[in-house]
């Protein structure tokens, strides 16, 4: 699964997701892509799960690009522990996503097959998405 090779600090402040995606909001590599319509935090498990759903449907041929990277750390406290005593331990990675962000792109397969693959990938994600086709196709 995707995760940073090394980080400068173990934990991060949570922050908030606001606004629209001003970068990474157009199809850059493939012919068809999946675009986020909501804010959300997509974990590395979800990114991988959606990718597998997609490539298993495509079977062979084509190329898939993942346009997001889970570079934010998630922390959690153990069960049955009182509040306080510091921040919880790192327990996973997520990619913060804003509406408009392209999540995946596909090239080199039939457009209907690619649409179905992206639809299957969208079921694995925690946010609303839409399929966008590159202009001129």
Residues in contact with another protein by CB under 8 A are 20-22, 25, 35-37, 99-100, 130, 136
CB of 41 to another protein, least distance (A): 18
- Per-residue b or e along 57-75, where b marks 16 or more CB atoms closer than 10 Å to that residue's CB: bbeeebebebbbebebbbe
CB of 44 to another protein, least distance (A): 23
Residue among 13 and 22 whose Cβ is closer to another protein = 22
CB of 108 to another protein, least distance (A): 9
Q: How many CA atoms lie within 13 A of 97 on its CB side?
A: 33
Residue among 84 and 136 whose Cβ is closer to another protein = 136
**Residue 61 corresponds to which tokens in the numbers above?**
């041929």
Residue among 90 and 100 whose Cβ is closer to another protein = 100
CA-based torsion, 125, 130, 136, 137: positive or negative:
positive
């Amino acid at each position: 699964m995707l995760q940073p090779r090394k980080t400068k600090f173990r934990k991060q402040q949570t922050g908030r997701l606001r606004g629209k995606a001003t970068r990474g909001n157009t199809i850059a590599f493939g012919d068809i892509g999946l675009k986020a319509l909501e804010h959300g935090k997509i974990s590395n498990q979800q990114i991988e799960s959606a990718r597998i759903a997609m490539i298993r449907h495509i079977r062979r041929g084509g190329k898939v690009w993942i346009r997001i990277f889970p570079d934010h750390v998630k922390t959690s406290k153990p069960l049955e522990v009182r509040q306080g005593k510091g921040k919880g331990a790192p327990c996973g990675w997520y990619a913060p996503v804003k509406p408009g962000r392209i999540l995946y792109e596909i090239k080199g397969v039939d457009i209907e097959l690619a649409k179905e693959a992206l639809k299957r990938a969208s079921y694995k994600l925690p946010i609303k998405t839409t399929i966008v086709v590159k202009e001129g196709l």
